[in-house]
A and B are shown apart, each in its own frame.
Chain A
Amino acid sequence: MRRRSLHHAHAPHLNVTPLIDVVMCLIVFYLIVGRLALTRQARIDLPATAAGQVVDTAGALIVDVAAAAPGAAPSFTLAGQPVTAEVLASTLRARHDADPNTQVHVRADRSLPYSAVAPVLDACRDAGLSSVRLVTERTR
């Protein structure tokens, strides 16, 4: 009877199933993060500055002013919801009446003319806000 060597080792087999589980989790993570970033950032190219303040943004109202197609009016977004200038003004007034310490952060695209951002500042002024915060991207 031919003797079989006990050291006749077959190639070690790597169990890839846990690796697939981890990779699937990473895919789901990047799917969710990508969607959240898209909805929150709303295609706005912020001006880059080398000076600014780091302020707690909790509870602040975020107004986005995004550039639209050439010739089209810019779009306003309040807390992620598209709004018109009139709705923006009334909402800011209501929020300021409810909480005089309301902070408004304005995120506007750098390519916009000031006339596109002025309605937001006017709405804030008419609502009784004494100041707003302009959000910029920190340059390294």
Chain B
Amino acid sequence: MSARFRRRSALAVHDHHVGPNMTPMVDVVMVILIFFMASASIVGPQWLLTSALPNRKAAPPAPGEVTRIEVRLSRSAGRTLASINNQPPGNPADVPATLAQAAGQDPTKLVVIVKPEGDVPYEDVVRVHEACQRLGIAKVGVANR
């Protein structure tokens, strides 16, 4: 018999696929994957603000070596107020400008002590630290009132 007309078995001609159909499984797995991707918490980048903890027993620095600024944070009528060096309380948004003015040419000679009241939001305390960080004031700390 000629090779062109050689009889072929049906199994040899067709790719006989055995086993379960994997396509629906892939669909289900994809849905599960998308679910876990969506539910995974995405953590943003973080960084740090250094806050000194003044020791109550430590002697205060000699005047002239550093300029000490006290920022008192208080709460009134649902708003946070900031008082710098016992001045009348004002808008905390004015604190960076005042610190910048006090820092002048040498922010390293400035010491900022933050004294918040208990009901002041923690975020406002962080804002003062952020302002000091922006101005290059390294010596900033939190003290109890």
How would you classify the secondary structure of chain A's contact residues: helix, strand, loop or mixed? mixed
Pair A114/B116 contact, Cβ less than 8 Å: yes
Interface residues of B (CB under 8 A from A): 4-5, 8, 13-15, 17, 22-23, 25-26, 29-30, 32-33, 36-37, 39-41, 43-53, 55, 73, 116-127, 129-130, 133-134, 141-142, 144
Pair B22/A20 contact, Cβ less than 8 Å: yes
A121 within 8 A of B: yes
Pair A114/B29 contact, Cβ less than 8 Å: no
Q: Smallest CB-CB separation from A8: which chain B residue?
A: B13
CA distance A41 to B46 in the complex (A): 12
Pair A116/B122 contact, Cβ less than 8 Å: yes
Number of residues in A with C-beta < 8 Å to the partner?
55
A residues 100-140 touching B (CB-CB < 8 Å): 105, 108-118, 121-122, 124-125, 129-138
Given the known interface contacts A53-B50, A55-B48, A138-B46, the answer about A114 and B122 at a Cβ–Cβ threshold of 8 Å is yes
A98 within 8 A of B: no
Pair A114/B118 contact, Cβ less than 8 Å: yes
Contacts of A109 in B (CB 8 A): 122
Interchain CB contact (< 8 A) of B121 among A16, A20, A113: A113
